[in-house]
């Protein structure tokens, strides 16, 4: 290991042996955001010259050919390095603009600024007259061979975005604008710096001097394995590593050290796992639930860890990886295949089970994955193929009721599932086949796992449910619609907007929830009495009966009830979306009894407290009918 104290200017020196810093493909993508950019700028501005900014850990890429570029692979420090080069690019762009306004007769200023621009350019891009065809990172820019001094990974279009930013600054001549460029972090970072850095030549020069003299500890090691072990012990300025990063790096390092497996080959296997579980939050949950589900096996169990949590998960995997990295790697990938079914990435051969799992996810039942991944891996011990569909049906009811009533307590859910797994495993070891009724009984007969009763469930449903739990409110509105909709009009109520990933169909308050109640509504619900209208709003506005689903409901907002009901269609892309309450949703055709009359939201011409209460009561009873357990 070699460690040196280097300034940023020395790190990207422009004379002598030119060195490049490449972010390997197995590193996570760029994750810094506004908070980190703002902190970086403030640290540079508020601290003295020669401010220590952290360490960079690298592995040297060896190429002994004459004139070949010296490449360092960055194991730790990519966030700071790439951010600082984006900051330099923003400074370069502003200095270029200033240069264009200068009178060339002021030769000293013009010449000095030209030197600074040339220095920045050479810190960011290295041009070469002749290069080997296979030199890493080389590319043609209008017939000239170029190398980026800091080269991001290609993940999430990072590299393409980076090159296009350099073209915008005048550092490169040829780079296409990537699709959705402006929505990603590199673009936002660059434009943030353009806005935040000063405009005057004097202030820009001072900022540039401070950046060049930032101090790094440059640590070069011989292998990826050495680098992974080292960087976990250092306290850097970068974003804290997540458990998934640390476990990945430890696993890849041990595979190289113990199994003599090429780090790129191990990375490709890791990518298989990430393909099965692409969502970051699900990856973290999988690491915990893998242990919680399979610690019934002696080779997995850690004597000091009864349950994997965010604080104990690293201890668990440190032991598993050192014990047998290849075995744990294979087992994680095997279990990830089952886990991907639960998260909807993959599917089973049973379309019925797939649909039930999809609904299970709508009720927020991720805690049940601990049990379900165990059962999916032990299907040969189930009495028949009907066990999982019947069990998932139960779990939909169980978690809907739990999420509405907060019973059992959230902190007990992991332990409940671990207990159920242990009872199932003990039954299997005793030679039994598992039935759905056996597993359901483990939930209903355990005091810690027992759900709230019908009366408590009814009370929560009848209250201001939207205020208490938006997610479950949305699910329940969808559930009622799914029962009453027709084939002629059954839109996907879970569809998301491609631009911002928000739901297209959102929860709509019939009687508006805003503080300034419109006069038309005061008149309808309270015969013109504003205080009474406010009282009714406070008591009823978030109740189930006052809610529906509407596409683009900003078009409804505080309109009168008649306008809300009658508002016509809106063109959204290639689709006509009906907006008002006459839109054909089964939810709006749901009948309730008021004043001895059976009516629906789409039919009524008035809306007041009586209608809200009546519709709420009818909807609550329908939900109880759907979600009661056998024997209740």
Q: Strand 70-76 relative to strand 19-22: parallel, antiparallel, unpaired?
A: parallel
Q: Which residues of the chain have pLDDT under 50?
A: 235-239
Cβ(521)–Cβ(515) below 8 Å: no
- Predicted confidence at residue 459, as pLDDT, reads 96
* Helix locations, 76-106, DSSP H: 78-101
Long-range Cβ pairs for the range 10-17 (8 Å, 24+): 11/56, 11/216, 11/218, 12/123, 12/124, 12/149, 12/150, 14/119, 14/122, 14/123, 17/70
- Predicted confidence at residue 570, as pLDDT, reads 60
What percent of the residues of the chain are helix, what percent strand, and what percent coil, each to the nearest 5? 55, 10, 35
What does the alpha-carbon distance between residue 519 and residue 503 come to, in Å, rounded to a whole number? 30
Residue 191, class by beta-carbon neighbours within 10 Å (0-12 exposed, 13-18 middle, 19+ buried)?
A: middle
Going 47 to 51 to 52 to 57, the CA torsion angle's sign is: positive
What does the alpha-carbon distance between residue 505 and residue 584 come to, in Å, rounded to a whole number? 14
DSSP classification of residue 610: H
**Which runs of E-coded beta strand occur in 328-399?**
none
- Predicted confidence at residue 211, as pLDDT, reads 96
What does the alpha-carbon distance between residue 408 and residue 430 come to, in Å, rounded to a whole number? 29
Q: Which residue has the tokens 């009282």?
A: 535
Phi and psi (nearest 5°) for 544?
-55, -40
Question: Quick check: helix, strand or coil at residue 595?
Answer: coil
Q: Strand 505-509 relative to strand 547-551: parallel, antiparallel, unpaired?
A: antiparallel
- DSSP sequence for 382-413: BSSTTHHHHHHHHHHHHHHHHHHHT-S-GGGH
- Predicted confidence at residue 13, as pLDDT, reads 92
Describe the strand order of the beta sheet including 215-221 as a list of residue ranges: 2-7, 215-221, 52-61, 70-76, 19-22, 150-151
**What HEC string does 447-489 produce?**
CCCCCCCHHHHHHHHHCCHHHHCHHHHHHHHHHHHHHHCECCE
- Predicted confidence at residue 236, as pLDDT, reads 41
Picking from 157, 181, 168, 166, the residue whose alpha carbon sits closest to that of residue 120 is 166
What does the alpha-carbon distance between residue 376 and residue 341 come to, in Å, rounded to a whole number? 9
What does the alpha-carbon distance between residue 203 and residue 183 come to, in Å, rounded to a whole number? 30
Cβ-proximal residues to 546 (8 Å cutoff; 6+ apart), any chain: 509, 510, 511, 540, 612, 615, 616
Domain coordinates in residue numbering, the chain:
2-231, 250-451, 456-627
What does the alpha-carbon distance between residue 586 and residue 602 come to, in Å, rounded to a whole number? 10
């Amino acid at each position: 290991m070699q460690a040196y104290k280097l300034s940023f200017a020395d790190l990207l020196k422009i004379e002598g042996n030119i060195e490049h810093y490449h972010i390997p493909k197995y590193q996570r993508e760029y994750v810094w955001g506004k908070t980190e950019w703002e902190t970086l700028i403030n640290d540079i501005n508020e601290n003295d010259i020669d401010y220590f900014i952290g360490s960079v850990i690298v592995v040297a890429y060896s190429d002994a050919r004459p004139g070949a570029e010296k490449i360092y692979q960055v194991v730790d420090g990519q966030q700071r390095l790439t951010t600082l080069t984006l900051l330099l690019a923003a400074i370069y762009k502003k200095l270029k603009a200033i240069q264009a306004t200068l009178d060339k007769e002021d030769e000293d200023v013009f010449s000095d600024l030209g030197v600074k621009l040339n220095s920045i350019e050479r810190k960011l891009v290295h041009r070469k007259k002749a290069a080997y065809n296979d030199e890493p990172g080389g590319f043609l820019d209008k017939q000239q061979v170029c190398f980026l001094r800091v080269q991001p990974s290609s993940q999430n279009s990072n590299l393409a975005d980076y090159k296009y930013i350099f073209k915008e600054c005048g550092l490169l001549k040829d780079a296409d604008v990537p699709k959705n460029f402006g929505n990603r972090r590199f673009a936002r970072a660059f434009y943030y710096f353009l806005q935040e850095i000063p405009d005057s030549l004097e202030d820009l020069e001072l900022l540039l001097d401070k950046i060049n003299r930032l101090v790094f500890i440059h640590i070069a090691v011989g292998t990826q394995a050495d680098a992974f072990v080292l960087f976990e012990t250092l306290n850097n300025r970068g974003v804290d590593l997540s458990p998934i990063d640390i476990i990945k790096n430890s696993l890849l390092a041990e595979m190289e050290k113990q199994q003599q497996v090429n780090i790129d080959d191990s990375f490709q296997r890791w990518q298989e796992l990430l393909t099965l579980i692409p969502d970051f939050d699900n990856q973290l949950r999988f690491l915990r639930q893998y242990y919680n589900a399979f610690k019934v096996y002696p080779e997995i169990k850690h004597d000091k860890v009864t349950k994997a949590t965010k604080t104990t998960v690293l201890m668990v995997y440190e032991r598993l990886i050192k014990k047998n990295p290849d075995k744990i790697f294979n087992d994680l990938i095997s279990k990830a295949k089952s886990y991907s079914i639960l998260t909807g990435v993959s599917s089973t051969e049973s379309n019925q089970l797939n649909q039930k799992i999809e609904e299970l996810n709508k009720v927020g039942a991720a805690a049940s994955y601990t049990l379900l991944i165990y059962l999916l891996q032990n299907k040969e011990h189930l009495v028949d193929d009907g066990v999982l569909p019947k069990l998932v049906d139960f779990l939909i009811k169980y978690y809907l009721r739990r999420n509405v009533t907060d019973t059992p307590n959230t902190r007990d859910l992991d332990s409940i599932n671990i207990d159920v797994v242990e009872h199932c495993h003990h039954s299997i070891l005793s030679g039994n086949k598992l039935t759905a009724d056996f597993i359901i009984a483990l939930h209903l007969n355990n005091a810690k796992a027992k759900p709230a009763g019908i009366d408590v469930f009814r009370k929560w449903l009848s209250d201001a449910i939207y205020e208490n739990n938006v997610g479950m409110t949305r699910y329940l509105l969808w559930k009622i619609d799914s029962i009453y909709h027709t084939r002629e009009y059954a839109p996907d109520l879970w569809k998301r907007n491609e631009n911002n990933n928000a739901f297209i169909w959102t929860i709509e308050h019939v009687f508006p929830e805003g503080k300034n109640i419109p006069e038309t509504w005061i008149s309808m619900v309270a015969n013109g009495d504003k205080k009474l209208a406010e009282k009714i709003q406070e008591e009823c506005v978030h109740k189930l009966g006052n809610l529906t689903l509407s596409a683009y409901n900003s078009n409804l907002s505080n309109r009168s009830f008649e306008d809300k009901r009658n508002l016509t269609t809106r063109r959204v892309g290639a689709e006509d979306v009906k907006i008002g309450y006459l839109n054909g949703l089964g939810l709006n055709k749901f009948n309730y009894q008021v004043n001895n009359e059976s009516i629906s939201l789409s039919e009524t011409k008035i809306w007041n407290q009586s209608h809200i209460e009546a519709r709420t009561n009818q909807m609550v009873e329908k939900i109880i009918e759907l979600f009661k357990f056998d024997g209740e």
